[in-house]
Amino acid sequence: MKIFTSWMSWGQAAGPLAEALPSQTVTGLRDAVRFARTQHGVQQRPTGRPYVEHLLEALEVAVAGARLHDPDVLTAIVLHDVLEDTACTERELARRFGAEVTGLVRWVTRPAGRAKADHLAALAKAPAQAVLVKLADRVSNVQELQRLHWRFQKRYYHETVAHIVPLAAPHPWFAEWYEEWRRPWARRVARYPD
């Protein structure tokens, strides 16, 4: 199972992105990363690392792993948490990045007050582009799940298997990656107390 942790800064991402994508797409992604960094500010991942690293990991998953090229999907991957986790509004996001990107981000944003399981279940009706955003996001989140407390690992594993793995089925690269991830984690989680 490939782990995607090579792009921890824009400087590390820029070269591989330039080799894989048109220059206009790379410029748009650079702008999206700058915007996301400003919006997320000092926010950190559960591991204590800067939040922008998660966004770049998800982008690395999409480009270096799944070989995605759609600029709207890639931009939405970088911006996927700005509506849910920052003060950014849909209007501001649409003004900066367009209606298509905003629509994809909206699909993966859990509405306030909605149960997480209900939100994840609703993604079964999402457009394929929005599903790709969520799949890349979750690969970044689960690829190093062992860094977190075992109770979180167990809950997140079951949530991923129940809601995310089925979304990956029509997308061969993601389906294979999640299957490689699931097998060892199934054994590991089975050893945890109930």
Find the farthest-apart pair of alpha carbons in the chain and give their distance in angstroms, rounded: 51
**Catalytic residue status for 84:** yes
Instruction: Judge whether 101 and 93 are in contact, CB under 8 Å.
Output: yes
Instruction: Judge whether 46 and 27 are in contact, CB under 8 Å.
Output: no
**Short-list 165, 145, 179, CA closest to 1:** 179
Q: Residue 50, SS3? A: strand
Catalytic residue among 31, 53, 70, 84: 84
**Catalytic residue status for 85:** yes
What is the C-alpha to C-alpha distance for residues 107 and 129, in angstroms, rounded to an integer? 10
Q: Which amino acid is at 117?
A: A
Instruction: Judge whether 62 and 132 are in contact, CB under 8 Å.
Output: yes
Instruction: Judge whether 8 and 53 are in contact, CB under 8 Å.
Output: yes
Catalytic residue among 19, 85, 179, 180: 85
Tell me how crowded residue 159 is: count the other CB atoms within 10 A of its CB.
15
Would you please indicate which residues are annotated as catalytic (active-site) residues? Answer: 84-85
